[in-house]
Amino acid sequence: MAAQYDFRPMPGAKDDGKTQLLYPRIVNKGTIDTERLVNDISTMSSFSPGDIAGLLAAFEERISYYLSEGHHVQLGNLGYFSAGLSARPVEDKKEIHAQSIYFGRVNFRVSPAFRKRCAGFLERVRPGYGFRHSQELSGAERYRRLMAYLDTHPFITRKDYSGITGLLKNKALNDLNLLVNKGYLDTIGRGSHKVYVKAVNKEVTEEQK
């Protein structure tokens, strides 16, 4: 099977009305978890799933140990692991102490051989099956749809708001939270159980939309 790609605007591009440059990006088909990998390798080899899971755990333990000691670790032809540090930048070494410097990340550098091995066939994804984009509705229209929904429902969820406006999750949350911060909506509940309700005696004027 071929990997599928679609086009996205260049990262950091401003929505200023000008034609945006696009770049191709692979469409994610989902994540293959460890259990799937273990079962696949077991089927293709003489190793049992338990053997493979044990080896993976041993690799994790040894790799983390050597990284914590300041080594780089090569993993076969896959590439190299290395640890990175995080700290605030300073002009003088005396301005910062060891207690303020910590392991902030783990880097993995893929080897050229493995990168070449991952290269496969590509095909353009069918229309409607690529990356999802938020609908381009004005703030006034989104607010009108929100109020129309709340006129017939006691509350609205983020998912419901995405459904009536076409906004993706993050943009929908930003919209709703902005209205909460301005006092036009109130919230009930927390986390995945949070819902939004009309604030009492608060309306948005045309200039505020």
Q: For residue 186, is pLDDT > 80?
A: yes
State which H helix or E strand residue 7 sits in.
Answer: strand 3-9
pLDDT at residue number 208:
45
- Does pTM top 0.85 for this prediction? no
The amino acid sitting at 79 is G
pLDDT at residue number 25:
83
Query: What is the C-alpha end-to-end distance of the chain, expressed in Å?
Result: 48
Tens-place pLDDT, residues 80-135:
999 998 888 877 887 777 778 888 889 999 999 999 999 888 888 777 665 555 56
Q: For residue 56, is pLDDT > 80?
A: yes
Give the C-alpha separation, 16 to 88, whole Å.
34
Give the C-alpha separation, 29 to 151, whole Å.
39
With b meaning 16 or more CB within 10 Å and e meaning fewer, what string describes 102-122? eeeeeeeeeeeeeeeeeeeee
Binned at pLDDT 50, 70 and 90, residue 157 comes out as very high
Q: Which residues contact 139 (CB under 8 A, 6 or more apart)?
A: 209
User: For all residues of the chain together, what is the average pLDDT?
Assistant: 84
Q: For residue 202, is pLDDT > 80?
A: no
Mean pLDDT of 69-84: 95
Q: For residue 209, is pLDDT > 70?
A: no
pLDDT at residue number 92:
80
DSSP string, 83-126: EEEE----SSGGG--GGG-EEEEEEEEE-HHHHHHH---EEEPP
Can you read off the two tokens belonging to residue 190? 């927390």
